[in-house]
Structure 1
Amino acid sequence: MKGKAMITLTSLTSVEKFIDEHPLSFLYVSRTNCSVCHALLPQVKDLLKELPLIQLGHINADDVEEIAGRLSIFTVPALLLFVDGKEILREARFVQMQALHEKISKVYQMVVTESE
């Protein structure tokens, strides 16, 4: 079982490779001076600890400016869940953690059940 290490993605190429290589990939897009981003990230990490098959990738949109255009991100934080390379879930700005947990868990259960 993989540890829940967050992978920092520093280019559009690394983001696309990350999504391709992980059947369940979760992208956390933030900016350096975003206080909401910094407050939310530890909560997201805790949430994903319960879902070990989801790999977490972090992108600082200040470092990878083209990410906004590539993923149509207009505000941060942006949280995106991909299953087999397809975006399944997207939350942005003001994220309700309980609702997010329920949505991700539902997708997770469907994916895990299908692969058994």
Structure 2
Amino acid sequence: MKLSLAILEKLKEERASFYIYFSAPNCGVCHVLAPKLKTLMAEHFPRLDAYEVDNSIQPEIAAQYSLFTNPSLLVFLDGKEFLRRSRVIGLGEVEGELKRPYQLFFE
């Protein structure tokens, strides 16, 4: 789903749980990682809403979070930033760091 600054602020106010994947069209790693990340999140963290930001179209969102490299991942739980990864994103590491907090939050 496309994300705007207004939607992002509303999500944080509503204390939503979601993740944002930042990428760019000229980033080969971004294109390889995106489907793998979507699969991981859908299988293990299905209650997190998914958003993608194309930094070439919406650089203001990445700049707001001081993200200046691709790919980047931000995970929010209860409207607060919980996890931040950029450039080298290990899917096993993301899963390991989210598993316990996700279980506590949603179960």
2:69 to 64, 75, 79: 75
Equivalent AA in structure 1 for residue 21 of structure 2: Y
For the Cα contact (< 8 Å) 2:15–2:80, is it kept in 1? Answer: no
Give the CA deviation at 1:96: 1.0
The corresponding residue for 1:107 is: 101
TM-score between both structures, scaled by the size of structure 1: 0.82
Q: Cα–Cα, structure 1 residues 28 and 19, in superposed 2: closer, same or farther, change >3 Å?
A: farther
Q: Percent identity?
A: 36
The corresponding residue for 1:58 is: 52
The corresponding residue for 1:95 is: 89
The corresponding residue for 2:29 is: 36
Instruction: List alignment gaps of at least 5 residues for structure 2.
Output: none
CA distance in structure 2 between the partners assigned to 1:78 and 1:32 by the alignment: 14
Q: Tell me how many residue pairs correspond in the alignment.
A: 106
C-alpha RMSD of matched pairs (Å)? 1.6
Instruction: List alignment gaps of at least 5 residues for structure 1.
Output: 1-6
CA distance in structure 2 between the partners assigned to 1:34 and 1:110 by the alignment: 35
CA distance in structure 2 between the partners assigned to 1:87 and 1:96 by the alignment: 18
